[in-house]
Amino acid sequence: MIIQSEFTPPRWLKNRHAQTIYPSFPWSWRSFPALRRQELELPDGDITAVDWLVAGDQLAGTAPLLVILHGLEGSADSSYARMLMEAALDLGWRSCVLHFRDCGDYRNRLPRRYHAGETNDLRYFLDTLHETPESAANAGPITAVGYSLGGNVLLKYLGESGDETPLRAATAVCVPLNLHECAEALNQGFSRLYQRYLLKRMKKSVRRKFDQHTAAFDWNKAMSARTFAEFDDWVTAPLHGFDGMQDYYDRCSSVHFLEDIERPTLVINSLDDPFMTPEVIPGADQLSEHVTLEVAAAGGHVGFINGGTPWRPTFYLPDRILGFLRPYSAMPGL
Same domain, 135 and 9: yes
Domain boundary among 205, 231, 252: 252
* Catalytic residue list: 148, 273, 301
Same domain, 213 and 167: no
Helix (H) / strand (E) element for 49: namely: strand 47-53
Domain boundary among 252, 273, 295: 252
Mean pLDDT of 116-126: 95
Which one, of 194, 216, 165, lies nearest residue 302 by Cα?
194
**Residue 318 falls inside a structural domain:** yes
Percentage of residues in the chain having pLDDT higher than 70: 97
**Alpha carbon distance 116, 256 (integer Å):** 13
Inter-residue contact 173 to 152 (CB < 8 Å) = no
CATH code for position 128: 3.40.50.1820
Selected residue with higher pLDDT from 159 and 219 = 159
Whether residue 333 is predicted with pLDDT greater than 50 in this model: the reply is: no
Same domain, 154 and 15: yes
Cα angle value 159/161/167 (rounded, 5°):
100
What total of structural domains would you count in the chain? 2
Same domain, 161 and 145: yes
Same domain, 170 and 187: no
Q: How far apart are the first and last CA of the chain?
A: 21
**Residue 334 falls inside a structural domain:** no
Residue 238 CB partners (closer than 8 Å, separation 6+): 216, 217
The backbone region for 89, taken as left when phi is positive above 0, alpha when psi lies in -120 to 50, beta otherwise, is alpha
pLDDT value at position 215? 79
Same domain, 143 and 207: no
Whether residue 331 is predicted with pLDDT greater than 50 in this model: the reply is: no
Mean pLDDT of 143-151: 97
List the single range of 70-84, 119-133, 314-328 with lowest mean pLDDT.
119-133
pLDDT value at position 132? 57
Q: How far is CA 318 from CA 48, 140, 204, in A?
A: 26, 20, 31
**Alpha carbon distance 238, 71 (integer Å):** 21
Same domain, 138 and 41: yes
Whether residue 236 is predicted with pLDDT greater than 50 in this model: the reply is: yes
Question: What letter does residue 311 receive in the DSSP assignment?
Answer: T
Find the domain containing 197 and state its range.
179-252
pLDDT value at position 332? 54
Same domain, 248 and 276: no
Same domain, 243 and 275: no
* HEC secondary structure over 243-296: CHHHHHHHHHCHHHHHHHCCCCEEEEEECCCCCCCHHHCCCHHHCCCCEEEEEE
**Residue 259 falls inside a structural domain:** no
Give tens-digit pLDDT for 171-214: 999 999 999 999 999 989 999 999 999 999 999 988 988 888 88
